[in-house]
Amino acid sequence: MNQAPENYGTIKRTGEKALGIIGSIFNVIGIILSIIVITSLSGFEGSQMQMEMQEELRNDPTLSSPEDAQMAVDTFDAIVAGFDVIGWVLVILLAISTVFAVLAITKLKSFEKANTAGIFFILAGIFAGILSLTSILFYIAAIMCFVRKPPLREDELMGRSNEPATRSDAVTREDDTPYRPL
């Protein structure tokens, strides 16, 4: 009797791993760029350039009153300060996304864990931004985890098991009476 090789019925998950790795690299690049922007904006606060911009806002002829000019300056300062908080939130979300992506990639080593890897890829996509390029890569990897199944062995396709047929496996008619050839 022909024995199937050990890895027969398995599927390679190279595509899912590649998408996960590419998405993780994009996350790391996003983290690095966010940290650079945060640190450069931190140097902007209290600098000569910020004071010049505030002075230009106060002297802007389109603003009718000094109160409007001060409100514009306060809004500008709040936006600059808000970038710091938003930037760190972005760094944290991208780091969480990267952790989920790495977990998904490690779960792809066995077929039974492909659905778990798909869930981790979806979570990584959500934390990377609902509709960013990185999240779309993670969503595609998740769909591939859920949809791609290993091929069935020949005996599974035919509905047979590895056990030999016994006499009780007789063919029956619709009315459950045994079929006896003439």
pLDDT digits (tens, 9 = 90+) for 22-34: 999 999 999 999 9
- Confirm whether 170 is domain-assigned: no
User: Mean pLDDT, to the nearest integer, of 46-62?
Assistant: 79
- Structure-token match 């769909």, residue found: 143
- Confirm whether 165 is domain-assigned: no
Higher pLDDT, 162 or 92: 92
- Confirm whether 157 is domain-assigned: no
- Residue 20's nearest CA partner among 128, 131, 130 is 128
Whether pLDDT at 162 is above 60: no
| 41, amino acid identity | L
Instruction: Round to whole Å and give the CA distance between 34 and 13.
Output: 31
Higher pLDDT, 86 or 155: 86
Higher pLDDT, 156 or 82: 82
Instruction: Round to whole Å and give the CA distance between 90 and 84.
Output: 10
- Confirm whether 177 is domain-assigned: no
Instruction: Round to whole Å and give the CA distance between 88 and 95.
Output: 10
* pLDDT over 90 percentage in the chain: 41
- Confirm whether 31 is domain-assigned: yes
- Confirm whether 78 is domain-assigned: yes
- Confirm whether 138 is domain-assigned: yes
- Greatest Cα pair distance in the chain: 109
- Confirm whether 29 is domain-assigned: yes
Tokens of residue 12, six digits: 């390679």
Band the pLDDT of 4: cuts 50, 70, 90: very low
Band the pLDDT of 173: cuts 50, 70, 90: low
User: Mean pLDDT, to the nearest integer, of 104-116?
Assistant: 86
Weakest-pLDDT range from 93-102, 130-139, 165-174: 165-174
The torsion of the CA quartet 12, 18, 20, 24, rounded to 10 degrees, works out to 150
- Domain coverage including residue 31: 14-150
3-class secondary-structure state, position 155: helix
What sign for the dihedral angle of Cα 132, 133, 138, 144? positive
**Into how many domains does the chain fold?**
1
**Are the C-beta atoms of residues 127 and 93 closer than 8 Å to each other?**
yes
Residue 82 C-alpha from the chain's centroid: 27
